[in-house]
Amino acid sequence: MADYFLISLSNRENLELCIEYGLAGFTNSINGLWTFFDIDVGDYVSFLYGARVRNLYKVTKKVAYKNAENLPPWPPITFRSKRTYYFPFRLVLKQEREFNEPMVRPEFSYVAENLLLRGGYRKTHFQADTVTFYNVSEMGTVFDGETKHLELNAETFEPKIVFKRENQRPPEKFYFRELVLQSLVRRKIQYSILKDALEFFGVDSTPEEFEVLGEKALPEGYVDIFIKLRHPRGTNKYLPVEVKTGKAQSKDLGQLMGYINEFSNETVGGILIAKDFPRSILNNPKILAVRYYFKDIDPSEEYSYEELLKMLTLEVIE
């Protein structure tokens, strides 16, 4: 099933350019790469600016451009830190619906809570749940015009992930970071170890009844992946997931326990995913420990996102 995201924009000019050209662009930063990886062809997006949500689009293409600092429609941005960012990572969009709605509508409550707890828009994108997507699909009117696209005669590239810092060359090569692992795990977990997790916690449901969502803000912090029933009836069932690229620590267990306690008796348990685990944190009945690794990986090589997704293995620790 397609996912639905709200893309956060920093200024009105950026919003107008996105709408005019049916494009979403992301910077040559790890957050820009994360968004580019996280949103896939076939997913749906809306633009978020000034506490209002604009239009519904379907992602038809993803493309990364070389020398994007010289490409329209977005000029490079220089911040007070003297760092300059440009927009190599882009989504080509087909408009489906036309609307301009305030975030205070109850239909946007799932995303609005994220915004409130974060204190603003300091995140590139927010993944909404299925209920939000269904509601948005009935807002406004069907768009019956043609989406204007910006044709660029420019060289493209496929971004790669490297496992040695000295090999990174942004925006074409990025060092492996936790944000990348989060995105990979979100894609993989439902069809790999979610069934095992439900059995471990004694949940009489199938993996297909659940949806796996990206980072969610809570009063205790930000849970990396949030799993919940797609269509709750009366009560929900929550599984927060914490992802670590290295060896799990006792503080990670405490952090995950804090997320579990946030939802009281609706949380069935938590999943901690890491490269390795100390024996001291493996005997908690509320936590399922899952080891991740990339099968047949060569740390000196570079890999595309899709290659890593195929290589990623999630293994429940007995």
252-261 pLDDT per residue, tens: 999 999 999 9
Give the whole-angstrom CA distance, residue 171 versus residue 192. Answer: 31
Structural domains of the chain ordered from first start? 4-157 (3.10.590.10), 178-316 (3.90.1570)
- Count of beta carbons in the 10 Å neighbourhood of residue 158: 12
pLDDT given for residue 283 in this prediction:
85
Q: Provide the pLDDT confidence category of residue 92 given band limits of 50, 70 and 90.
A: very high
pLDDT given for residue 122 in this prediction:
62
Burial class of residue 3 (count of CB atoms within 10 Å of its CB; 0-12, 13-18, 19+): buried
pTM: 0.95
Q: Which of 147-156, 224-233, 234-243 has the lowest mean pLDDT?
A: 147-156
> Can you tell me whether residue 149 is helix, strand or coil?
coil
pLDDT given for residue 118 in this prediction:
64
Q: Provide the pLDDT confidence category of residue 72 given band limits of 50, 70 and 90.
A: very high
pLDDT given for residue 234 in this prediction:
87
pLDDT given for residue 282 in this prediction:
85
Burial 93-114 (b: 16+ CB within 10 A, else e): bebbbbbebebeeebbbbbbeb
Give the whole-angstrom CA distance, residue 303 versus residue 138. Answer: 40
- Percentage of residues of the chain with pLDDT beyond 90: 82
Mean pLDDT of 35-47: 98
